[in-house]
Amino acid sequence: MGRLDGKRALITGSASGIGRATARLFAKEGARLTLCDIKAKENDQLAEEILDMGGEALSIHVDVGDPEAMQTAFQQAATAFGGLDVIYNNAGGATGNDGLITEIELDEFWHAIRLNLFGAVLGCRYGIPHLIEAGGGAIINSASIRALIGTSGADAYTAAKGGIVTLTRALALQWAHARIRVNAISPGVVLTDRVRGLLSDDDPIRLKTPLGPSEPEDAAPLAVYLASDESRQVTGAILPMDGGASVV
Ligand SMILES: NC(=O)c1ccc[n+]([C@@H]2O[C@H](COP(=O)([O-])OP(=O)(O)OC[C@H]3O[C@@H](n4cnc5c(N)ncnc54)[C@H](O)[C@@H]3O)[C@@H](O)[C@H]2O)c1
């Protein structure tokens, strides 16, 4: 028996990195998946892979910063599977154009906020009504070690992820009465393809990670826990998955 048997889950940013590793594990644990990503081809391939292994997956091409497209995606997911129990607002990431707030292009600030904060806001806005209809559910947001400790050099991204932390706590309080749990995973350095290309060997967070950098597959079990009924008394938590970097 799978730990997510019968759960209808929607994951954004599913086509690569942490989202893809999590989708694979969710499928193994019995979840019925809606995969949402801006990269249509890679997302379709993942859905095919899950179908081939006997799972259930629907691939939707969506930009998480587009309100209309997000509302439609959530409706499609609920229609396909008869409702929704789990939302993982995972799409996000820093870019190489980020930096000091005194120097970055102002467009980069809005890009970071749109992708990393507004995308999750829309996921909650259009997902919560479906979770209410299901009698409760779980929202997982994607924070970052940058929101928990003082770092510099990716100021736009850091500001966006700080918003994720406070949003997570606020929504946890607001929706507990409806049995909707809202938590966040806070990764440190996770060696996804994007991060391998972005991060130097002497990146300060990477150097001070006691257990060393993580792989995308290291984050997936935490998401399974937060999505499953095993975490039924856990809400408003920001769970670090950073190899110990936030306690140094
Ligand atoms: N990898 C790390 O070291 C690290 C550290 C801290 C936090 N995180 C967070 O974890 C989450 C996943 O990161 P990752 O490293 O796996 O990233 P990734 O780049 O490997 O995957 C992100 C996915 O999101 C998709 N995406 C990008 N923009 C989108 C949009 N507008 N609409 C829909 N989909 C979009 C991409 O196509 C991609 O498939 C992000 O929120 C990131 O900020 C990652």
> Cα(177) to centroid of ligand 1, in Å?
31
pLDDT at residue 80, as a whole number = 98
Which residue's CA lies nearest to atom 18 of ligand 1? Answer: 17
Task: State pTM to two decimals.
Answer: 0.98
pLDDT in tens, 168-211: 999 999 999 999 999 999 999 999 999 998 888 888 888 889 99
Which residue's CA lies nearest to atom 29 of ligand 1? Answer: 38
pLDDT in tens, 73-82: 999 999 999 9
pLDDT at residue 39, as a whole number = 98
> Cα(222) to centroid of ligand 1, in Å?
16
Which atom of ligand 1 approaches the CA of 216 most closely? 16
* Beta-bridge mates of residue 61: 37
Residues of the chain with pLDDT under 70: none
Q: Is 87 exposed, middle or buried (0-12, 13-18, 19+ CB in 10 A)?
A: buried
- The verdict on whether 157 is a catalytic residue reads yes
Which residue's CA lies nearest to atom 23 of ligand 1? Answer: 13
Superfamily for 8-247?
A: NAD(P)-binding Rossmann-like Domain (3.40.50.720)
Which atom of ligand 1 approaches the CA of 143 most closely? 7
For ligand 1, residues with CB inside 6 Å are 12-13, 15-19, 37-39, 62-65, 90-93, 115-116, 142, 144, 187, 189-190, 192-195, 216
Active-site annotation holder among 88, 126, 157, 225: 157
